[in-house]
Amino acid sequence: MSNKSIFALVVIAVLALVGWNSFYIVQQTERAVLLQFGKVEKANVQPGLHFKIPYVNQVRKFDARLLTLDAPTQRFLTLEKKAVMVDAFAKWRVADADRYYTATSGIKQVADERLARRLEAGLRDQFGKRTLHEVVSGQRDELMADITASLNRMAHKELGIEVIDVRVKSIDLPKEVNLSVFERMSSERAREAREHRAKGQELAEGIRADADRQRRVLLAEAYREAEEIRGDGDAKTTEIYAKAYSLDPEFYAFYRSLMAYRESFADKGDVLVLTPDNEFFKYMEQSNP
């Protein structure tokens, strides 16, 4: 092969390499900036095929998808100076490629570190404005919305980042106060239990007293009705006895005496002491010849 042929091949290879390095592609999931000797020449390059000058221009591409910053658990103080351990995360993405590259050199770890510091400051500020009850349940959604809005304004201005959402995963008490809080909660529950028992006993005594009163009333009414019925029966009995006595007084007296004899001598061991002229034995005396 001649020298001309070798030179031609070298020229073709160089031209092919230059041509290959003259084009670049930006995907839909990417953001890019075009640099010229390290200085931003074109910011926020749109997705598609683009031209650049080899060895003069450089292209830096960044992931434009939704990214996650998982912040470490931090200790914050609430409005009443109570310590809480907060675990939170943020969702963000690159919004301004020029500003993002200028602030972080396009390195995600640098962006995460700076965003984490600002997230920590925002959380500390928001927790310091609220009580423990508010950050746990009362205003938790409002707290996250405020942090998201403030962090997004700052991050977009300083880092070229859009913060989509900030979420608090958990809010716990520090380990050193868990036992004291548990004991306080236990004593409060015990006090509430005693109050409920006292109220229950008071209600039980009231119900029991009312039941006793109703029982006494019912017994008194039943006794009154029984006495009335017994009185009516005694009156009828007396009336019957009176009618029977009026029909044959002598026979009635004799019958009553026989009944008295039967009851008096029902037991062989009974002893009856009477005077001889007592009227109790007059019918026995009349039976002697």
Q: Classify domain 67-173 at the CATH topology level.
A: Tetrahydropterin Synthase; Chain A (3.30.479)
Is residue 91 over pLDDT 90?
yes
State how far Cα 145 lies from the chain centre.
23
Label residue 266 by pLDDT band (50, 70, 90). Answer: low
Task: Tell me if the pTM is above 0.75.
Answer: no
Report the mean per-residue pLDDT for the chain. 81
CA 57 – CA 14 distance, rounded (Å): 17
Q: Domain residues of the chain, as ranges?
A: 3-62, 67-173, 189-247, 248-287
For residue range 45-59, what is the model confidence (pLDDT) as tens digits? 788 877 777 777 788
Euclidean distance between CA atoms 27 and 125, whole angstroms: 39
Q: Contact, 34 vs 88, CB < 8 A?
A: no
pLDDT at residue 13, as a whole number = 63
What's the pLDDT score for residue 63?
Answer: 84
Q: Does residue 80 carry a pLDDT above 70? A: yes
β-partners of residue 289 are none
How high is the pLDDT of residue 245? 75
Taking only the tens place, the pLDDT of each residue in 166-201 is 988 888 877 766 666 677 778 888 889 999 999 999
83: left (phi over 0), alpha (psi -120 to 50) or beta: beta
b/e per residue, 206-237, with b = 16+ CB within 10 A? eeeeeeeeeeeeeeeeeeeeeeeeeeeeeeee
Cite the beta strand spans of 47-82 per DSSP E. 48-51, 57-63, 67-70, 74-77
